Amino acid sequence: MTIAEQNDAFRAQLTRPLSWTQAIAGRAVMTRGIAAIEPERLARIMRAVETFSAFTSANDPHGEHDLGTFQDAGDHILWKIDYYADTSMTFGADDPRESFRVLTIMFAEEY
């Protein structure tokens, strides 16, 4: 599985966990701004992150599907995946294919 395929699978399991044999290790977090929005909007944003597919050479130059942006209700939303060596999240991973992923969802101005 490529890094992009792993990242796509990881995002797809945000609200719909895959079977343990398909699951990609990681966690999703959000900034205070995203956490403060109403539940219906948060669900819409989570679904947009899960299904994001508008990757181009301009917004995904390494072809890893590890960053995305979109508009929601006039706000610019950003999500980003970082790679860690293990669940302690102390050190970055040497190989993203064998990593613990952390996906952060935020308003672009919070970056």
Strand partners, 47: none
**Tokens standing for residue 36:** 């403060």
The domains of the chain are located at 3-54+64-110
**Per-residue pLDDT at 22:** 63
Per the listing, tokens 């994001």 go with 52
User: How far is residue 84's CA from residue 12's CA, in Å, rounded to a whole number?
Assistant: 19
Tens digits of per-residue pLDDT, 68-93? 999 999 999 999 999 999 999 999 99
Comparing C-alpha atoms, which of 2, 26, 21, 22 is closest to residue 84?
26
Which of 7, 36, 33, 49 lies closest to 108, judged by CA? 33
Q: What is the pLDDT of residues 27-54, one digit of tens each?
A: 999 999 999 999 999 999 999 999 999 9
Report yes or no: 77 and 45 within 8 Å, Cβ to Cβ: yes
